[in-house]
Amino acid sequence: MAAKTYEERIADLQKKQSQLKARENALKKKQAADEAKKRSHRLIELGAIIESVLGRSTTEEDKPKLLNFLKKQETNGHYFTRAMNAEAVSNPNPERWEQ
């Protein structure tokens, strides 16, 4: 059998590159899906925390109220940010939020 020509070897390399690119794209797609799943889970947990503090289910009307409240806390002195950052460092008992 004769050795492959340059063109054949180039074609083989291009095919392998194409396959590797397809594998890379599949991995990126899987990574994005995993990150979206984690984000969704985190947001659901935050909603559950809010409802546990309120003692009731949230409504559509609650969303702008909560947003305005948090923005006001930030405007008045970054209270929300400071409280959240302090909790992450100094809260040895995170289950106190759970009911």
What are 14-37's pLDDT values in tens digits? 999 999 999 999 999 999 999 999
27 and 67 in a common domain: no
Give domain status of residue 83, yes or no: yes
Question: Which range of residues forms the domain containing residue 66?
Answer: 59-94
Assess if residue 99 is contained within a domain: no
Same domain, 30 and 5: yes
Judge if 49 and 74 occupy the same domain: no
Q: Report yes or no on whether pTM surpasses 0.75.
A: no
Residue 28 burial (CB count, 10 A): 10
Q: Which residues contact 53 (CB under 8 A, 6 or more apart)?
A: 97
Question: What's the pLDDT tens digit per position in 69-93?
Answer: 999 999 999 998 998 898 555 555 5
36/11 same-domain check: yes
Structural domain count, the chain: 2
